[in-house]
Structure 1
Amino acid sequence: MGTNKSSISDALYKKAEDFIKPTTTSFDLKMSDALSFIQELLAHQAALESQIRELEKSESEFSNVREYYKDIFNNQPVGLYRIRVFSVKKWGNRSWENSDNPPYKMEFASDRFCEILGVTQIEFSKNPFIISDLVCTDDIKSFVKRNEEASKKFIPFRWEGRLLVKNKVVWVRLESVPRRLDNGDIIWTGILNDITEHVFTENALKENKLHLEDILIGANIGTLEWNIQTGEMKFNDIWAKNTGFTRAEINFALKILKGKAWKMVTHPDDVAYADEMLKRHFSGELPYHSVEVRMRHKKGHWIWVRQEGKVKTWTPDGKPLLMYGTHTDITNRKKIEEELSNLNNELEVRVAKRTEELQKLNDELILSEQKFKTVTDFTYDWEYWKSPDGKILFMSPSVERITGYSVAEFENNPKLLDKIIYIGDVESWESHKKERCVNDPNEKKLELIFRIVTKKGEIRWMGHVCRCINIDGKHLGVRVSNRDITEKVNAEKELLAVTVEVEERERNRFSRELHDGMGPLLSTIKLYFQWLADTDDIQKKKLITEKGNHNIEMAIQTSRELARGLSSQLIVNSGYIRAIQDFAQRINDTNKIKIYFYTNTHDRFNNFLEITLFRITTELIKNTLTYAQATLIEIDFKYNKANNTISLTYTDNGIGFDSETILKTNKGLGLMNIQQRVQILKGNIKITSNPGEGMKTFIEFQVEESN
């Protein structure tokens, strides 16, 4: 390619001279023939020079393209390579196991490929078969097997294994696809990926999973994953073991019964309760699902199970999808509770009977008291018996868990019962104590809810039940049962707060729908009226009237749809792009302002995203029509499929405004609505405007299924 024109000409003249000399010795060459021959040679010279220039140009273009693709190949996160595997008949014995006589030839390897192998391009070019020598001893068999199998069967190659790179184990994944040549060789083009971190992470996850399984086994807790929409369930062995069935038996029943399976094994008396609690959780009333129900064991008897769980995944339309939870066998606990309840009931009868004989049978009273104390020592509530003179005759140890004070502290200072009452509840507490009748044998139990201040200064809510003990007209004191209901009270407060929040959210939603849905339509109708006032042309007035009536009908329809909660139906049916194009056309028909809408896609997105985009765009247009005095609006909507992002650029040539002041002072309902909607989409918004310079708004966000 370095040959210049002069050298080519000299060569051609030399050729002509060599041709003329021998011919003149053998015959007489005419001068005209010689000149003609020389001219022909010069013509060939010009053609050759032209071809040389074309070749030089092609070589330059090829070099640029080569550098372009080289940059692409060498800057991939994975290593790229191309290997030529010779025909099977050319393979040597055990040739895949080392680089001495390999049945292949490496034709290309990217920089990343060499980096993973721990070599430079120069080192790799000297030994392109090095990868065979780097495969760890324990993995060489699988490496050879996969290579031979893929080449012989002509199927895609995939292998994961370890390489020993500079005395360090590196996990890699090799993947390639074949292309057979006419001579029987196979070209494999593929990637080399360093998966060391992935393998270590996966092993750590497996170890954590085994650790968690050991914990669940140790605690005898069954786990459950329930697809509420399909009825499909996934559970661990403990869940199956507690019910006496095998996993195969349960899976077969689930396949047949689907979502009704749990009702078939739940006690009939517990189905309605469990179903109600599920519905309350699904509706959001309860943050967790927690019930204690009876389930049928394979052997026919009933076991008590505590079911706890929570819905973690919801369908796009708000229905519960995946629920995760635990099942704990509490049969033994229930038996103990039942026995304790029976014992307590029995004790109540015995106490009532014994109190009639207290004056005669003091020893029996002491015995009964001991039995009573045995039961109440293990009660969860705070129980005590106070004598008529204010002494503590008995108090359950649970008092320390609830109040922080020990039984001894109350016994030594009975007035502590009054001192721990929260100051705001002292009056009701004193009034409650005065209601106790000391001589009425038919007195009913009295109840009160109040707060106490614990030893640590915490405020706890108490559910208080008391009853005077009267036997044969003799007052023996007061029996009291206090239950810590703090969590219940707090839950009721949280539920009330959530209810108020939901109501306020619905009011705000209605305000936005009214502002964003009706506002742009009314602004358009206003333009038509202005257009009508500016013309005397009968045909134009007729056209304006028709279009104005059409927009009024749309406003009426929007108000009806808004009332029915269906104001977004048009967008759902036609999509964001079509809806904006139609909306812009209606405004363009007024000839008051021109709207240009550009887009690189006609893809549809989920309903929520399209409705939100439509509200944002029409709010921007409404602001321009209302305040900007603009004659031109440009809307540029772009969807980047590679990054799965959407960008919206909105500009007008209006009078502009001080955007920094407006945004800092939170003025303008329209801009606030736009910002709120962009935040809902988890996007970014930038509004740029100055007086006299128009306005530009840029919005960008990631497209997510949850939108």
Structure 2
Amino acid sequence: MKKKEQEILRTHIQELERENFLLKEELKENKVQIHEYKKNIASIVLQRTQELEEMNIDLQSAKHELEQYKNHLEEVIRERTIDLKFSEQRFISVSKSLMGGSVFEIKFSNDGTYEIRYLNNFFWDMIGVDVQYMLNGYDALKNYIHPEDTVLFQEKLMHSKHTKDIFDVEIRILPPEKSMKSIHIRANTIEESDNYTIWVGLVFDTTEKNKFQYEIQEREVILNAIIQNIPYDFWAIDSNKTCFLQNRTSKKLWGNLLGKSPSQVTLPETTKTFFLDKIEDVLQNKLVNEEVLLADRHGNKKDFQSLLAPIILHDKIRGILCFNIDISERKREEKARVQNEQKFRNIFDNSTDAIIIQSHQGDIIEMNNEFIKLSGVTHKSDTINVSHFIGKNDKSNFFRKIDTIKNTSHIFIFETTFITHNNKVIPIEIKSKEIEYLDNKVILSLIRNIAYRKKFERKLVNTIIETEEKERARLAADLHDDIGPVLSSMKMLTGLLRDASDIAKTKVISDQIFELVTESLRSLRETSNSLSPHVLKNYGIIAATRNIIQSFQHVIPISVETNCEKLRFESTIEIIYYRVLCELLTNTIKHAQATKIDINLHYINSMLIFTYQDNGIGFNVAKKMEESSSGMGLYNIINRISSLEANYTIDSSPGKGLIFTLKTNITQKL
């Protein structure tokens, strides 16, 4: 083990000796190199010493030259200083005289501080702050800048510093005890170094300008909203015929015209031709205002009121405004109004009644032909007051009635006398109502000649009186001829009965009195039945009809057809139908010389229809109605029917017999 360790130790010693040898050799080489370096350095030092001596000579020469340049430069600076002071005085003088703006100078240092180096009096007047206070720096100005604009001011300033662009910003300031102001700052960089930047420029008060611009913008918005919401077609073109303005309604009609000429838009040929022709007319300084039928882009035709006018600026036509109003509805209304007026005029002129249109004061505005005939007026153009034709005693009452219907839809009916142009007096009925005529409120009056009706009413009253008198006379005759003798006989027999003592004789007299009482009751019943038939009341119209027919069957054949055997109706209707039947039967028996009578009574679809027909000699209905004596039967019939809402016809002529029809609408039967 020791031997092995000795061997290792010997090996290490040998390696150390070898390294020592190598180091000695390297040291020898370094010494040689150091010697060479020393020689080279000595040579370089000598060379540099010589160069420094030469440079020292040059520096002495340059120093002399600099002294000369310094003296020259000082002289130039003195001259420039004088010029700058003169320029500054002029600048201050100009800035003080500047109206509406303020000259300023601002310095921005790299440490982030601002210094306002100059402001004229305008800025002080504008915000009400001492200029000297503002010169304290940006912090003083910042106190008056609107909080929302502070960042904008700094950003614009930094942008100008880095890009060398013009410092251009508009901000709001809040002066103490004054309303908010707007200012526009515009400045150029005049000096810049590593440590600071200086701007000089102008500050302008733009408060009024902005306010004015805002008002203009607001008005533009309002105007545009008005144009867009106009319910009519509106568009405008410039001098090159290019559309620069169009509202929504116009786009619906013609499509989008903006940026185009009307000739470039797809429209029906007639529409396009119209617009192009009218544009040329307007360019010749003509104003277009026409009603025209145009087709829109879908081919739908409408009536328009078309207005085209030039846009004139500095005595030159700069464009054209076009305004098209859809008047289709108005045209339809006008057409309908014309048709209605024609209808009204046709009815007005062809009415069988006199018609006038008058003012509330009574002046006649219009009169129809019947009024001219009635009044005897010779010319429609004559200015006449309706009071000229009203009876003297009724004039004031008539106009009071007119006043009651003012501003109402009421109708008043007034009966008076009509005084014609020839002083003829005619009874009339006036129906008046307030209407609108030619945009004025007037009175429309219908004047009816009621002379015939008055005559008929007089006849009717006379007929009723005569009928009542006849009924009274007949009743008196019946009582006198039938019951009177019987009662006289009864009186005589009663006297005999009082004096009789024989039982057999008393019985005979009593039997005779009983027969007379029975006869009296029968006669009384017949008389009562003629006044108010109990069969009709108890059993209805058909039973009463059959009962009355039995009284005439021995004189003339009578047939009856009906579907009302089991029906009852209101007592008023049954009585009138029954009385009409009795009147017709009486007239036929007395006057018609008929050999047959047919009676039909049917209830069909809520209508009670009565038909009476005979084959008698007939008569002239109109002539018979005019006769005061022979027309009494017809007057009785018509008088009875007038109380019903019924329709009747009387069809007869000489040699043709009679057909009488009566129809009444009955919604309910009993």
Q: TM-score, normalised by structure 1?
A: 0.35
Q: TM-score, normalised by structure 2?
A: 0.37
Query: Max radius of gyration: which structure?
Result: 2
